[in-house]
A and B are shown apart, each in its own frame.
Chain A
Amino acid sequence: MTATRAHTSEAPSGAPRSSAPGVLDFARRNGVLLALAATIVLFSALRPEIFPTLDNVETMLRQLAPLAIAAFGLTVVLVMNDFDLSLGAMIGLGGTTAIVLMSNTGMSFVLAIVLALGVGVLVGLANGFAVAWAGASSFVITLAMGTILQGVEYQISNQQPVFQNIPESYKELANASLFGLSSQVYVALGIFVVLFVLLERAEIGRYMYAIGGNIEAARLSGIRVRELRVLGFVITALCSTVAGILLSSQAGQSSPDVGIPYLLPVFAAVFLGSTAIKVGKFNILGTLVGALFLQVISTGLILLELKPAIVNIVQGGILAGAVLLARLDRANARG
């Protein structure tokens, strides 16, 4: 019989377990990063003449930018435990608004972009007020909002591609490059830095995580819960609008149904990201990793000339796997 409370040295179960964690724990904590590294190595080995080239890296980063931008925005609402399912439609409407304004009125591209961003802010405010003030479920409200936005996009574009009278300067925005990298990458980087500082360094970010952790405790601590939730929806809608503008600028036109296909990959990137860096928490750096991972997989699989069906199955499988891994991690932590 042990007389007093025993400390670390004596705990029998501690000893055998403590040798393994070094490696295992590292693997679990950095699973997504390791998988990302492994896939890069794998694809580089399988397609050494294409995959590990500067050209391909440039292409991947450019393709990745709009998705990453929308995913950065989505991270902010998810941190507060809200959903935004309208972001796919917002990506479409963002680009179409700018294009249609320029095409129909001959408006300058700067003003068109400002107005499109203004529409994004309004949509974010509408989502935010419905959720934070009226108490609606963000899941349902943003689903409805997405349907509305899609209807609006169809209405203003007649559900046709719009490409007449688009100023060259608008098309150049997303097609320009600097130091060999697309301008889109710099926009994404800029938004990343801003949101990283906001979520990880600023008071507001701490408050947002508090809201996500326990909304009532946050309110009783004097945090402006409703205002911050609205802010989150505005940021998400703005990021989606930017993504939409970049896509339409790159194509030099708007086409219906450009945005909706982004909805699921954007969510996938953020959820994948929540299993990286700060495991179990939505975090902006993780979102970046998640988006990179998705891009590497899809580019790599296409380079391997696999059928799109296989690409979908592999991407979906990876997301499910990563989320399950993160769950396991937490279940283990609980004991």
Chain B
Amino acid sequence: MPAADVSQHDEREVLARAEGLRKAYPGLVAVDDVDFEIRAGEVVGLLGKNGAGKSTLIKLMVGVQRADAGRLELLGQEVDLNHHGAANARALGLAVMFQELEIFPGMSVAENVGLASRPPRRLGLVDYRRLHRTVREVLDTVDPEIDSEATIDTLSPAQQRAVMIARAVYQGARLLVLDEPTTSLTAREIDALHALVRRLAERGNAVVYVSHRLEEIMQVTDRVVVMRDGEVVGEMGTGRTTIRGLIATITGNEDGTTAAERRVEKGVGTRPLGPVRLRVSELRRREVLHDVSFDVHAGEILGIGGLVGSGRTELLRALFGADPADGGTIAVDGRELRISSPRDAIDAGIVLLPEDRRHQGLVDTFGIRENVTLATLPAFRAGRLPMPSKRSERSATVELMEGLSMRARGPEQLVAHLSGGTQQKVVIAKWMLRQGQLLMFDEPTQGIDVDAKAEVYALMERFAEGGASVVLVSSEFSELVAVCDRVVVLREGTVVRTLAGAEVTEAAITDACYAGTAPA
């Protein structure tokens, strides 16, 4: 039995301790008898599939949800679970940063940091001079390059994230919870964030780092806690495990396969390519796309790599007519098309599964059925009148739900209540009904768990085998390696390299992103 490498004779201050925490919803125990301890100076990774109970656990800690049973101690103080809430958590020194940035747009950095809590006052009014000075002191420890007087909107997402952390520090937080903090950050920004996390820990704070990105977990954490079905199923020092081991613990399966292994196993990149389906020539749009040219073949999965801001999303949106191109040509099956709206693209068999599914892919107020049939409603007419038959909609939806093994109560369940992976499947189902010839996926696995990721990959492969063309944009280069036959790398709105077959490796993609223009 390997001795636990923390806690045994640990003299470090305990910042959070939970015993027997439990939270049940009708039909589901979300957090089941969970114990944990977080000590000063630690960076703890919290892992698990969607629905494993991570979010609920965090919400119990911060008091957004009320625990049914158990004990919780924050910074040495027993928390009264019945009267716990965000304000109390903050007063005790716990700060949670969810995936979405909680900024006050239009206000300065200093205001964003300082105004939410006891700003310095003079004569009853905010003392801005002192506010800037005190905020400056905090910013110097977080990111000295940020100007406290700048309007928050002018900062990059990474800097905004840093400002959020500065706010927590300013408010005296000792324990910070970061939920998927690196979404939409570049590799360099991720490194900077990790350095900041380490600094915070060294200063005697603790950070709980929640992420599906296992590479980052390996990089930044000291210790990991893995949850599955509401229980803690593994707790180990990060140094004592591997990505493969983590995947195995997360899924409960014995084998954890890496991207490169998957590529070889599935014969990705060795499949014969069909004729050219889509030909893009010299596509331009404002400042974001300059002269983009590439082909996509029938039956192919083409990856588009690049850093944030390289024009990947913009390219897909231009091809889809969401933000139409200013110049250049788009031809499908040899026929040149004018695409000035999503409708034009859809008519031509081009569909886009957008990056931000909550805001661009789903209608929150609709159930699964109404979302799934939204783009193909006329196909469900009962008679000649333009009125959909709910019965035929429902049977098509149920069929898709089974085919995609969606976890939901039924076809009428509101999509707002589904997990991220299931939501993504709803968007996929919508476009499966459309039988598109070219399917573009923008970050389809963002925020979804290992199992659901594998299912999304399998789906893309199924589309390609059926003769469709698939275009995949992903910030996780391992994903491109795992599923893409070829990878086009963008940089500053231009194609800088095309990789095919065995050339497709994470190193090669990363290299192309930074190095730029080597010959293809």
Q: Footprint of B on A, CB under 8 Å? A: 1-2, 4-8, 10-14, 17-18, 197, 201-204, 206-207, 209-210, 212-214, 216-224, 281, 335
Contacts and interface: CB of A to CB of B under 8 A. Distances in A.
7 contacts: A1-B33, A209-B363, A213-B365, A214-B364, A217-B363, A219-B322, A220-B361
Contacts of B365: 209, 212-214, 281
B32 A7 contact: no
Nearest to B24: A11
Most chain B CB within a 10 A radius of its CB, from A209, A210, A212, A214: A214
Interface in B48-102: 65, 68
Given A217-B360, A220-B352, A220-B354, A11 B25 contact: yes
B107 interface: no
A214 B363 contact: yes
A155 to B, nearest CB: 40
A222 B342 contact: yes
Interface in B1-58: 24-29, 32-33
A214 B25 CA distance: 28
A207 B230 CA distance: 39
A7 B65 CA distance: 20
B374 interface: yes
B387 A201 contact: yes
Given A11-B27, A220-B320, A209 B366 contact: yes
A11 B388 contact: no
Contacts of A6: 24, 28-29, 32
A12 B342 contact: no
A5 B362 contact: no
Nearest to B345: A222
A220 B378 CA distance: 17
B289 interface: no
Q: Is the interface of B mostly helix, strand, loop or mixed?
A: mixed
Contact of B342 (A5, A207, A219): A219
A213 B366 contact: yes
A128 B461 CA distance: 44
B375 A8 contact: no
B384 interface: no
Contact of B363 (A8, A10, A213, A281): A213
A203 B26 contact: no
B485 to A, nearest CB: 26
A223 B366 CA distance: 15
B449 interface: no
A221 B342 contact: yes
A210 B374 contact: yes
Given A203-B378, A210-B366, A7 B387 contact: no
Contacts, number: 107
B360 A220 contact: yes
Contacts of B366: 209-210, 213
B33 A2 contact: yes
B229 interface: yes
B346 A8 contact: no
B386 A204 contact: yes
Contact of A1 (B32, B322, B374): B32
Contacts of A335: 65
A224 B343 contact: yes
B430 interface: yes
A275 to B, nearest CB: 15
Given A202-B386, A217-B374, A224-B343, 6 more contacts: A14-B25, A197-B387, A203-B388, A222-B346, A223-B374, A281-B365
B370 interface: yes
B519 to A, nearest CB: 37
A11 B29 contact: yes
Contacts of B33: 1-2
Contacts of B361: 217, 220
Contact of B377 (A11, A12, A203): A203
Nearest to A212: B365
B129 interface: no
Interface string B236-275: 0000000000000000000000000000000000000000
A206 B370 contact: yes
A201 B385 CA distance: 10
Contact of B26 (A4, A13, A209, A223): A13
B359 interface: yes
Given A203-B377, A214-B364, A216-B360, A2 B32 contact: yes
A326 B26 CA distance: 23
A7 B377 CA distance: 35
B68 A12 contact: yes
Nearest to B357: A217
Interface in B352-411: 352, 354, 359-366, 370, 374-375, 377-378, 385-388
A206 B364 contact: no
Most buried by B among A212, A220, A222: A220
B29 A217 contact: no
A220 B377 CA distance: 14
A232 B115 CA distance: 42
Contact of A203 (B25, B320, B386): B386
A220 B344 CA distance: 11
B387 A203 contact: yes
Nearest to B228: A5
Nearest 9 A/B pairs, CB to CB: A14-B26, A213-B363, A213-B365, A222-B346, A221-B375, A8-B27, A214-B363, A222-B343, A203-B386
B295 to A, nearest CB: 25
A80 to B, nearest CB: 12
Contacts of A11: 24-29
